[in-house]
Chains A and B, each alone.
Chain A
Amino acid sequence: MPSREDERVPLLEVRNLKVSYKTYRGILKVLDGVNFEIEKGEKVGIIGESGCGKTTTMKAIMRILPSNAIVEGGEILYNGTDILKMSESEFNKIRRERFAMIFQDPTAALNPVFKVGEQLMDILRYSKGTGKYDEDDLKEEIIGAFREVMLPDPERVFDSYPFQLSGGMRQRVCIALALLTAKELLIADEPTTNLDVTIQDQILRLIKDLVSRRDLSVILISHALGAVRGLVDRVYVMYAGTMVESNEVNELFRSPKHPYTRALLSSAPRLTGGGISQGIPGNVPDYLNPPSGCRFHPRCESKKFICDIEPPSFFSVEKGGKVACFLYAER
């Protein structure tokens, strides 16, 4: 039986990615060797609290990091080729034709001075690559996408300005756009965080439905732990610029392994009651002077001697999970 590695190359593989930011206070060493991969057609979630580096990772993949960011090391392999080494124009082609991204704030993603339909036509044209496209055809496609995301009265939405639509509708427009332009990979960065819970639920169900019909690969980023659960197959947990655990989604929530994951999950209030924990002692690390070895060790109850000396690698545990913690290192 051939091993998984030589069966097929993952769609996207991030290897040991290190990214820092240059600020006037000094260098913020944010990403400290991020490892993560996604197969074709897979749906992966990344959960972590604010500042842990999830958005930086996504920006690195889409190559939209700000000018003060430095990629210190690592590779991002798309179908085996390192996109960090590609030229601007080469990657541009891939990004506009194969990838799509849904951002956290739909208001910021849409240009307020243009009608929604106009903007989307521009973007759709751009994403299809060079060539002439019939305006009416493009419009048809967009209206069709609006119907799929269940926007009421799609024609009217097409002719509206963003401010005339509610938050939920705007986000649905962005999702429609992403689905029109995403051929292979969809990255959704906190797509429902600013929305009401009932709308959130509708939109997540919608994304799930649409994604399954198209066999898209999806990376869903969220700090809301429960939001990813219904949508993804596998979850990565991120802390202070490193991936600390990954596992099949239900398994992770049922049986978290990494001390951070455990502490995080026990801080989340349960609908069934039972009280809340006191949170995690200590504070998130200062990226100017991050802790040595494992970045979680100052806050970890199970800290061992080696934890502040060496950063742990991703050790395998049962059911395909991986944990970056010496508690699980093979002897």
Chain B
Amino acid sequence: MARLSLLTIDKESPRWRSLRRSWYRFRRNPLSLMGLAIVVITIVIAVAPEYLAPYPDHAGYYINFKEAKQPPSMKHPFGTDEYGRDILSRVMFGFRFSMTLAVVVLSLTAPTGILLGLIAGYHEKTWIDAVIMRVADMFIAVPPLVLALSICSILPPNIMNAMIAVSLMWWPWYTRLVYNTTVSLKNEYFVQAAEIMGASKFHIMFREILPNALGPILTKLTLDVGWVILIGASLSFVGLGAQPPTPDLGTMVSEGSKYMPEYWWISIFPAMAISFIILGFNLLGDGIKDALSGG
């Protein structure tokens, strides 16, 4: 069999080398690069809307009825809404809100879900497995939006509670993903070899199994950003998430729907922004999946 040609093997750290190789594979697909570009733009806007938005104070309380409901123009590229606020600026702040939601939810749910899935999978067919997975099944069984809505209707509608609601329905998917991966990896020879030589359970779960599950996890994380944002926007749309005047994309679509179709820009631009973000993360997620699965 042809031996792989070695590129300066001992000059650079091996992990860096394999990262570079994944990058070469990633780079080959123009759609992945597009996804990456979109995500980078999204993050930049989300991090610093104050500096990028033309009218940053329009993101909060601002009323100027003289400028209300203006169509897109040079002064207001996305037009203005019913209060005279610049929609472009509000959309930019909306990016921040959406990204914050995604980051908070995923950084809570992913580690929890992964940990539970890893433990349940490694202890397959014991009570630990049964307890964890049945609880996860319970949460999965409820349709996500219904679960989120019911939680939001009990608690007062605000950003925080929206995040809690979304988190509660999100974690089991990670558990399931990692559970399945763990169960199949558990029987690989290299895991058996580690067991035979006396490696601790901790080592086997976290140093043998988990690193090999990272591929699917990373892909899922990336795709999930889009989903969390969409669910969050849906909640806001029905009034259960961010409340006005918070510039949340979903809220903006909802509020603007009253003025359709003559003042279409009030809803359409925030909606397009949502699509933009989701598209970017989806393309990126697909690209990562392809790059990691060997190109």
> Which residue numbers of A lie inside 8 Å of B, CB to CB?
24-26, 28, 50-51, 283-289
Q: Report B-chain residues with C-beta under 8 Å of the C-beta of A285.
A: 2-3
Assess whether B28 is in contact with A284, with CB atoms less than 8 Å apart: no
Q: Interface size bucket, B side? A: under 10
Are B2 and A51 in contact, CB atoms less than 8 angstroms apart?
Answer: yes
Partner of B1, one of A24, A25, A50: A50
- Cβ–Cβ < 8 Å partners of A51 in chain B: 1-2
> CB distance A284 to B2 under 8 Å?
yes
Contact A284 B4 (CB under 8 A): no
> Is B8 interfacial (CB 8 A cutoff)?
no
- Interface flag for B5 (CB, 8 Å): yes
B156 CB within 8 Å of chain A: no
Q: Which residue of A lies closest to B2 (CB)?
A: A287
The 8 A CB mask of B1-17 against A (1 = contact, 0 = none) is 11111000000000000
Cα distance A26–B3 when bound, in Å?
A: 13
Bound complex: CA A24 to CA B295 (Å): 9
List of A residues within 8 angstroms of B28 by Cβ: 24
Indicate which residue in A24, A283, A289 contacts B5 across the interface (CB closer than 8 Å).
A289
Could you tell me the distance between the alpha carbons of A283 and B6 in the complex, rounded to whole angstroms? 14
Residue of B nearest to A29 (CB): B2
Instruction: Say yes or no: B2 contacts A28, CB within 8 Å.
Output: yes
Smallest beta-carbon distance A89→chain B, Å = 34
Q: List 18 A-B contacts (CB under 8 A).
A: A24-B25, A24-B28, A25-B4, A26-B5, A28-B2, A50-B1, A51-B1, A51-B2, A284-B1, A284-B3, A285-B2, A285-B3, A286-B2, A286-B3, A286-B4, A286-B5, A288-B2, A288-B5
A283: which B residues are within 8 A, CB to CB?
3
CA distance A28 to B4 in the complex (A): 11
Most A CB atoms within 10 A — which of B5, B24, B28? B5
- CA gap between A238 and B224 in the complex, in Å: 52
The chain A residue with its CB closest to the CB of B1 is A51
Complex Cα gap A244–B25 (Å): 37
Bitwise, B226-270 to A at CB < 8 A (1) or not (0) is 000000000000000000000000000000000000000000000
How many Å lie between the Cα of A28 and that of B164 in the bound state? 55
Give the chain B neighbours of A284 by CB distance below 8 A.
Answer: 1-3
**A residues less than 8 Å from B3 (CB atoms):** 283-286
Q: Once the chains are docked, how many angstroms separate the CA of A46 from the CA of B3?
A: 23
Least CB distance from A230 to B in Å reads: 28
B contact residues around A24 at 8 Å (CB)? 24-25, 28, 295
Separation of A26 and B295 alpha carbons in the complex (Å): 14
B-side contacts of A288, CB under 8 Å: 2, 5
CA distance A158 to B92 in the complex (A): 68
B295 nearest in chain A by CB position: A24
Chain B residues in 8 Å Cβ range of A28: 2
Q: Residues of A contacting B4 with CB < 8 Å?
A: 25, 286
- Residue ID in chain B nearest A288 by CB atoms: B5
Q: How far is the CA of A146 from the CA of B295 in the complex (A)?
A: 43
B5-48 contacts to A (CB < 8 Å): 5, 24-25, 28
The complex places the Cα of A50 from the Cα of B295 at a distance, in Å, of: 23
Report Cα–Cα, A289/B1, bound state, in Å. 13
User: Separation in Å of the B149 CB from the closest CB of chain A?
Assistant: 43
Please name all residues of chain B whose beta carbon is closer than 8 Å to the beta carbon of A25 when the two chains form the complex: 4-5
Expressed in whole angstroms, the Cα–Cα distance for A51 and B5 within the complex equals 16
Q: Shortest beta-carbon distance, A274 to chain B, in Å?
A: 29
A283–B5 Cα gap in the complex (Å)? 13
Instruction: Kindly state the separation between the CA atoms of A261 and B250 in the bound complex, as whole angstroms.
Output: 73
**Which residues does chain B contribute within 8 Å of A26, judged by CB atoms?**
5
| Chain B residues, Cβ within 8 Å of A289 | 5
